[in-house]
Amino acid sequence: MHKTTARLFAAIEDRYPGEAVTSKVAAKMNVADNRVTNWKARGISFEGAVQAEVVFGIPAAWIMYGQQPLQTDQWPFDKWVRKEEITALSEADLGYVAHSIRAALNDISRAQGSKSAIKRSS
C-alpha cells in the first residue's frame, strides 16, 4: 500500500475502529471504491487528502507528508470543561462563551503588558 494511503487508513482505524475498509472509506468520502483502490497503489491525491480531512478530521498534511503529528484530541480544557459540553451549545451561547474567553485573554494580556512596563521603567 502506498505510504500516503497507509497513513490515511491507519489514522481512520485509530479514530474509527473497523472503518478502515476500502468500501467504507469510499462510501464516507462519496467516491467510487476503485478510486480508493487506486490510492492504495498510487497514493492519495491532494484533493483526496483534503476531502479526507473534511470527512474524517485527519490533517491533509499528515496524510500527504507524515510531518505533522496526528493529534486525535486537541481539546486543551478537559480538566475544566468537556468538549462535548461546548459543542452542544447553541450559536448564541457559543458567542457568549467566546466573548467571555476573549475578555479574559484581553485582561491577561493587559496584566502582562503592565508587568513588562514596570520592568522596563525600573
Percentage of the chain exceeding pLDDT 90: 36
The pLDDT assigned to 74 comes to 65
pTM of the model: 0.55
Least confidently predicted of 8-12, 37-41, 117-121: 117-121
Dihedral of the CA atoms 82, 88, 93, 96 (nearest 10)? Answer: 30
Angle between helices 22-29 and 33-42 (to 10 degrees): 110
Between CA 114 and CA 95 the distance in angstroms is: 28
pLDDT digits (tens, 9 = 90+) for 71-103: 555 667 777 887 788 888 888 888 898 899 889
